[in-house]
Each structure stands twice: as structure tokens, then as C-alpha cells.
Amino acid sequence: MFTVFLIFLAVCAPMLIGIWISRYLKYKAHVNRELQVLQQQIQDNSLPELRQEVSALKKRVVTLEAIVTSHGYELNEKISNL
């Protein structure tokens, strides 16, 4: 009886391992395709948003530079230091 089990195991084990490996490779390929699609969507969607954010930040920097370099700011700073 044990001999029949060993023969059955010797025949079925390679087939089962082959099935598992082929399913794993199909799963891995599917996941990689989905990952590439998601990465492309992220790159496509984030570029305009990043440009808008950079533009807004540039405007804020210009405003802050104008405040810091104004004569009134220097006067307030001198008064604060006294």
C-alpha cells in the first residue's frame, strides 16, 4: 500500500508543482501589468498638479520677498531689536 502511495506521489508531485509554478507566473505577470498601469496613471495625473503647486509656491515666494525687502519690514525689525 505504501508503495502505491509513493508511486502516486512520484507521478502527481511534479504535475502539481508545474501547475503551481505556472499559476504563480501568470499571477506575477498580471500583477506587473496592473502595477505598470497604476504607475502610468500616477505619472499622468500628478504632473499638472505639481506644475500648479510650483506656480503657486513661486507666487508666494515673490510675495514673501517683497515683504522682507520692504522698508517697513526693516523698520519693524529695528524696533523689535530695541
Measured CA to CA, the distance from residue 52 to residue 45 in angstroms comes to 12
Query: pLDDT tens digits, residue range 23-52?
Result: 999 999 999 999 999 888 887 777 778 888
* Those residues with Cβ within 8 angstroms of residue 55's Cβ, 6 or more apart along the chain or in another chain: none
Measured CA to CA, the distance from residue 79 to residue 61 in angstroms comes to 25
Mean confidence (pLDDT) of the chain: 85
Given this model, what pLDDT does residue 24 score? 96
Measured CA to CA, the distance from residue 29 to residue 22 in angstroms comes to 11
Three cell numbers written together for 4: 502505491
pTM of the model: 0.48
* In the predicted structure, residue 9 carries a pLDDT above the cut 90: no
